[in-house]
Amino acid sequence: MGFENLLLGFQVALQPHNLMVAVVGIALGTVIGVLPGLGGANGVAILLPLTFTMPPTSAIILLTSLYWGALFGGAITSILFNIPGEPWSVATTFDGFPMARRGEGGQALTAAFTSSFVGALFSVVLITLFAPLLAEVALKFGPPEFFAIQLLTFSSFIGLGGGNPIKSLVSILLGFILASVGLDIVTGALRLTFGVTELMKGFDFIVAVIGLFGIGEILLTMEEGLSFKGASARINPRVVWETWKTLPRYWRTFVRGSMIGFWMGFKPGGATPASFMSYAFAKRFSRHPERFGKGEIEGVVAPETAAHAAGVAAILPMITLGIPGSPTAAVMLGGLIIWGLQPGPMLFKERPDFVWGLIASMYTGNVIGVVMVLLFVPIFAAILRIPFGMLTPLIVAVCAIGAYSVHSSMIDIWYMLGFGVIGYVFKKLDYPLAPLVLALVLGDLAENALRQSLIMSQGSLLIFLNRPISGAITAVALFFFFLPALSLGRRRLKAPPAPAASHPDHTP
Amino acid sequence: MRPTRGHLAWLITALTLWALLPPAAHAAWEPTKPIELVIPAGTGGGADQMARLIAGIAEKHKLSPRPIIVVNKAGGAGAEGFLYVKGKKGDAHTIIITLSNLFTTPLHTGVPFSWKDLTPITRMALDQFILWVNAETPYKTAKEYLAAVKEKGGTMKMAGTGSAQEDQIITILLEQSQGVKFIYVPFKGGGEVCVNLVGNHVDSTVNNPIECVSHWKAGRVRPLAVFDTARIPDADWKDIPTIKEAIGADINYLMLRGIFGTPDMPKEAVEWYQGFLKKVYDSPEFKEYLSRGALKPSWLTGSDYVSWLQGAEQLHKDLMTKGGLLKK
């Protein structure tokens, strides 16, 4: 790595104006992260032209700080209103929102921000130590390996069971159907559009999630008589300190989340599956899996740690390989080229000041970020004290702006309302939403990787088993997939047939 | 001082005269609100980069009185963006940057849209295509590589961006002219395509220069031939033979990077955009961008541009008919 390189980086990152740029970036990013739909990618794209007059290092610090801010901010609306600001915050809603409803919004926010910081720090340290080596590992991942990872995400999550398996199946299939609407990248043909040009662009995941979770929740709350128990939240500035005292007990979840997040993140599209996978593993290894989905703080720690670790790791392929690990990184990549830098393996040699300045700013940016958002925890939590009748129109407006801003198109607002109704109906009929969301966000990626692999192998499924990396991941995925059946069988063998009451847990 | 009657009369006369002035005499049109620059492709790709560069240069050199807002509308292989601009008939504040999907998307998907629906403003550049292989392979020339493809009998993998788009068209042309067969593997973006080549998951690609340049400089990939009638003149690239020099075949393909306006965009507005884009085109930043990415500087406007577009559309129709890529 070169310790002197990192020192050089810190000399750049700690210059007063670069620190100031980081503060501005994080503040803007947090706001952008709060608005669902606006997202880090759009925020970075909007600011990009402004960076032309800056030196490249300050410019990238501004944009990456905005990205860290968005990563922190995404958790705020997930916890307070059940509206994920970013796709990787979906899993945060499962336990964060129930906590907020119980009046523990402050604790949930503190846990989310702290976990984000821990995950980020873990990834930055690994990047500092092993960046060029990790780039080589990333190159080993072709389509079969990507598909194996998607399979592992599905099976780790679906294997959790709980609830009615038929209902889970219906939910996941509906998600796959929705994911396949639009242009098929492999054949270039339009699918399920029925000649309607508006359907051509498919259903954006963010629009679906805003509707399913945000609007669906509001419909449900309205039916329950406009009461929102979050209003009773105790606002105590010491909430941060008190939550911190309880967090070290989840060190295993932190470590696991960081590792999953980093490992998934340095390959494209990693943060969202990482957050789901981390949540699933936390529940699986917990002593109290039944508490998950009802407001367990560990259910906030797990996805947030993984999401932020993955978000930071996504920068790595951008600077070492010239491929973006996330949509936000894709826009930054365009920025690099415009600033006159060529992303890719030569960047470390040609512009060490830029690369190491960027890496050092990941440390400073995340430290500044976590301090800033933690200071505001009591204020964020206080939002819930606003009477529901006043808050609801505001939330609906924010949701609509978010849905609109994804593609700047009105149709997405109608989709959002449609998904809101689906979300409401699902809750009323006790169908789980999580499998649908998982299928919608990963269905597209998994399908592409599967079909690319099968084209490469000319139709043989063996391609997933006879390549070492994908073979190993596929084996683990199959193990988790069949785990519920295996443990059920073992229980049957050990004990006399008992009534199948061994599913106290509730699908999130 | 209170305005006297005389002052008031004078003021009214002046205002009336001002109002009666002919509305913005020749070429005096200027944008009065933010300009929307639509990209019919995703973030991070070649069209996206150029659009953001244009917006950035305009900002830096204060070339436009109003800001340029860049919007990605990538759905349906760009059809979303084209239909959006098509629907804004007569709007003087919306423009679109195009790539080859201007021709290929309507031909392959049957989406009701043609470039003739839009108002051509200017051609900015043409993007090159190069045949790349992994540097660890023994193939030093296109001839050697294609001989190997022939020998392996249709098991070599060619990766490209999307389906029924420029990369697949070139692959099919290569197959037909050389009597070989590739397994074509489509990916979502050019960067991903080149990384799969570096990782040895596929055997070759026809990436644009800028998508592979960094891996080339790091010694991971090897360029074998340029799909153009002449070599790329820049110092870095001039040693790469043309496809004709390499295998004696005429397989030439260049990708349009041009700007269009809304249907029936007012003439004065078109002229303003041409003047504005010429200033962008002449800026040192834009020149440097073209040279680094080995794009062909290709400024062209007016009726020359229109007849070039007609030729290009016919070419795509022919190529896609030959390749069996037209909508059935």
Contacts of A268 in chain B (CB under 8 A): 192
Report the mean per-residue pLDDT for chain A.
83
Cα distance between residue A171 and residue A431, in whole Å: 7
The answer to whether the Cβ–Cβ distance between A344 and B218 falls below 8 Å is yes
Domains in chain B: ranges and CATH? 35-127+255-323 (3.40.190.150), 130-247 (3.40.190.10)
Q: Which pLDDT does position A319 carry in this prediction?
A: 81
Q: Which residue has the higher pLDDT, A260 or A168?
A: A260
Return residues 120-179 of B near A (CB < 8 Å): 155, 157, 162-165
For residue A298, the tally of other CB atoms under 10 A from its CB is 24
Cα distance between residue A262 and residue B143, in whole Å: 43
Note whether B187 contacts A: Cβ–Cβ < 8 A. yes
Contacts of B60 in chain A (CB under 8 A): 52-53
Q: How far is CA A154 from CA A147, A160, A177, A274, A276, in A?
A: 11, 10, 16, 11, 9
Q: How far out from the chain centre does Cα A372 lie?
A: 21
Residue A237 has pLDDT above 80, yes or no: no
Note whether B226 contacts A: Cβ–Cβ < 8 A. no
Cα distance between residue B110 and residue B325, in whole Å: 11
Dump pLDDT digits (tens) for B149-160: 999 988 999 999
3-state secondary structure of B142: helix
CB B103 within 8 A of CB B316: yes
Q: Name which of B35, B37, B43, B82 to mutate to probe chain A: the one with the most chain A Cβ atoms within 10 A of its Cβ.
A: B43
Tokens of A89: 């915050």
CB B187 within 8 A of CB B161: yes
Helices (H), chain B: 5-20, 46-60, 79-86, 101-109, 142-152, 166-178, 190-198, 209-217, 243-247, 267-281, 284-292, 302-323
Q: Which pLDDT does position B88 carry in this prediction?
A: 93
Q: Which residues pair with B300 in a beta bridge?
A: B123
- Shortest alpha-carbon distance between residue B12 and chain A (Å): 43
Cα distance between residue A299 and residue A83, in whole Å: 16
Cα distance between residue A273 and residue A277, in whole Å: 6
Q: How many CB pairs under 8 A join A and B?
A: 160
Helix pair A411-428, A388-407: axis angle to 10 deg: 130
Amino acid at A72: F
Note whether B188 contacts A: Cβ–Cβ < 8 A. yes
- Shortest alpha-carbon distance between residue A351 and chain B (Å): 13
Q: What is the DSSP letter of A409?
A: -
Selection from B70, B210, B288, B257 nearest residue A340 by Cα = B288
Tell me chain B's radius of gyration from C-alpha atoms: 24
Contacts of B171 in chain A (CB under 8 A): none
Selection from A359, A312, A347, A329 nearest residue A129 by Cα = A359
Q: Name which of B63, B103, B155, B185 to mutate to probe chain A: the one with the most chain A Cβ atoms within 10 A of its Cβ.
A: B185
Percent helix, percent strand, percent coil in chain A, to nearest 5: 75, 0, 25
Contacts of A324 in chain B (CB under 8 A): 44, 191
Report, as an integer, the average pLDDT of A88-114.
90
Report, as an integer, the average pLDDT of B119-143.
96
> In sequence order, what are the residues at sequence separation of 6 or more whose Cβ sits closer than 8 angstroms to the Cβ of residue B124?
B50, B257, B258, B259, B277, B281, B298, B299
Q: How confident is the model at residue A500 (pLDDT cuts 50, 70, 90)?
A: very low
Contacts of A334 in chain B (CB under 8 A): 43-44, 48-49, 52
Nearest CA in chain A to B73: A407
- Shortest alpha-carbon distance between residue A493 and chain B (Å): 46
Domain residues of chain A, as ranges?
3-489
Contacts of B82 in chain A (CB under 8 A): none
Across the interface, of B60, B77, B157, the residue whose CB is closest to A183 is: B77
- Shortest alpha-carbon distance between residue A50 and chain B (Å): 7
Contacts of B58 in chain A (CB under 8 A): 49
Tokens of B196: 């799969």
Selection from B176, B186, B179 nearest residue B149 by Cα = B179
Report, as an integer, the average pLDDT of A30-39.
77
Tokens of B134: 């992994």
Q: Which pLDDT does position B258 carry in this prediction?
A: 95
The answer to whether the Cβ–Cβ distance between B59 and A50 falls below 8 Å is yes
The answer to whether the Cβ–Cβ distance between A407 and B75 falls below 8 Å is yes
Contacts of A448 in chain B (CB under 8 A): 188
ipTM of the complex: 0.81
Amino acid at A329: A
3-state secondary structure of A85: coil
Dump pLDDT digits (tens) for B41-89: 876 678 888 898 898 888 888 899 988 888 888 777 888 899 999 999 9
Contacts of A408 in chain B (CB under 8 A): 71, 73
**A139-148, A264-273, B119-128: least confidently modelled range:** A264-273
pTM as predicted = 0.83
Residue A496 has pLDDT above 70, yes or no: no
Note whether B66 contacts A: Cβ–Cβ < 8 A. no
- Shortest alpha-carbon distance between residue B47 and chain A (Å): 10
**A150-164, A207-221, B1-15, B133-147: least confidently modelled range:** B1-15
**A485-494, B59-68, B97-106: least confidently modelled range:** A485-494
Q: Which pLDDT does position B139 carry in this prediction?
A: 96
Residue B17 has pLDDT above 70, yes or no: no
Across the interface, of A197, A342, A409, the residue whose CB is closest to B213 is: A342
Dump pLDDT digits (tens) for B228-270: 999 999 888 999 999 999 999 999 999 999 999 999 999 999 9
Q: Which pLDDT does position B248 carry in this prediction?
A: 92
Q: Which residue has the higher pLDDT, B56 or B275?
A: B275
Counting every residue, how long is chain B?
Answer: 328
Note whether B55 contacts A: Cβ–Cβ < 8 A. yes
Q: How confident is the model at residue A273 (pLDDT cuts 50, 70, 90)?
A: confident
Sign of the C-alpha dihedral, residues A256, A258, A264, A270? positive
> In sequence order, what are the residues at sequence separation of 6 or more whose Cβ sits closer than 8 angstroms to the Cβ of residue A130?
A1
Residue A436 has pLDDT above 70, yes or no: yes
Residue B22 has pLDDT above 70, yes or no: no
The answer to whether the Cβ–Cβ distance between B109 and A333 falls below 8 Å is no
CB A206 within 8 A of CB A87: yes
Q: Which pLDDT does position B120 carry in this prediction?
A: 96
Q: What is the DSSP letter of B121?
A: E
Q: Name which of A42, A137, A316, A408 to mutate to probe chain B: the one with the most chain B Cβ atoms within 10 A of its Cβ.
A: A408
Nearest CA in chain A to B157: A456
Tokens of A452: 């690319």
Across the interface, of A45, A185, A322, the residue whose CB is closest to B43 is: A45
Nearest CA in chain A to B220: A345
Q: What is the b/e burial string over B279-296, where b = at least 16 CB atoms within 10 angstroms of the residue's CB?
A: ebbebebbeebbbbbbbb
Across the interface, of A41, A187, A321, the residue whose CB is closest to B43 is: A41
The answer to whether the Cβ–Cβ distance between A344 and B292 falls below 8 Å is no
Report the mean per-residue pLDDT for chain B.
88
The answer to whether the Cβ–Cβ distance between B214 and A322 falls below 8 Å is yes
Q: Which residue has the higher pLDDT, A1 or B191?
A: B191
CB B158 within 8 A of CB B183: yes
Q: Name which of A346, A347, A406, A470 to mutate to probe chain B: the one with the most chain B Cβ atoms within 10 A of its Cβ.
A: A346
Contacts of A140 in chain B (CB under 8 A): 199
Report, as an integer, the average pLDDT of B214-220.
88
The answer to whether the Cβ–Cβ distance between B52 and A334 falls below 8 Å is yes
